[in-house]
Structure 1
């Protein structure tokens, strides 16, 4: 299934995309795509529905983040060897973990704000994992059973805030609109191999990032298992898993985003995003 949330900011409704690409309303089935809506039993009920019988949504409403009320927004840093190289940092021996504020989540095509005082606004196309079941001390062999699905994420970053302001990457990762997610959540059963997905990102029509989830240092089972040893993962938690090379910070000379720039990005099977940079 492709699960979506649509409507004005703060008024999103749950929906799904049927096989013809039509947006269908799920409001009669559940109040929102949040928390226990991502549990296996809940997803099984949605999968059993006759999509053609659901109300079709007319027009082209705004698409929001496919996950509402995320308990946690967790991120993995330097998870592609070639990205670590362009950042002049060693390949990590275990996952680097930081947090993005859940308030940074936004729709896949919403404007991205350039914060006040920002000088080094950057982009990162990433695969995001959405947790479906409470996970604590789960094995790598069992970890995928705790995953509801996947989505495209742009881990927008302000590098000066992240690196030059006395520690903790969260400072440069959490401004409003720094977490475009979607356009939809694709349930795990729809993806044959999450470790063979092409990914790309363009700035103003110029290709900046080309990569594949095949080159992740720590794969999805490792990430879920590892995090479940550090904290309990809850249904609706989002884990964004790192970016391939081609970020602005790694270019020679570095290239950063300005107001008016347009960023487009996508991952095979998971859809595409488009954001315009605006002043906060």
Structure 2
């Protein structure tokens, strides 16, 4: 720090304020506490790529002669594209001071790194891994940073909050799934409103005196309670059985009363016909037997 030029310090502070005011998409960068020459950054994996969802931490180290000399760059989060904690050979790093442009800024450097990450060009510090491995590392990147990178947790607390929120959502999701499963078991709709076919057996009464064909369509039902039935089942079944048998008894009584009334009316009709027709048939009988009208009642 003693060799840093005033121009370098002023330039880096200005660039930091610029990044805070106008952030670069998918890029976050902060100088380390107490050392303006050491910056830490986070790159978010490009959408629709094998790095989508990835959160990659890295480090920029500026020379005291910045911006007239380029910085070095390394990535600390496993990513499948760059070797971790290894300086990268790029046109905007200290590997190629001849191609360095003093007009380039921190935002420009990191945008170029993010673009190069999505390319397949090889250079010093790059590695080759299957796409499936890169996707896997992208999914694990944030957890890796949180659990194994104290500097990341210190400089990027907003990502710690993101991680904690995701973990809480996962726990809530598991809890909700468990509750839903339990609730679905408790509120399972049974075949009958309160009768369980597993605990209750219904047996139709085959007594000939209560033949359904003559006594109506409402069957007499005997209910048997198994050992697995609950007290509530027994109470409800008793009520249901009483109601069912009571209904049948009412039907029997009504039909019996109806038959009695019909028989009574039939008897009255016969008596009426006998009274009306008796004189007529008596006269006819007398004529057939050769009796006169005055003799038929002697």
Query: Greater strand percent: which structure?
Result: 1
With normalisation by structure 1, the TM-score equals 0.29
With normalisation by structure 2, the TM-score equals 0.27
Larger CA Rg, structure 1 vs 2:
2
Indicate the structure whose relative CO is greater, using CA pairs within 8 Å and at least 6 residues apart: 1
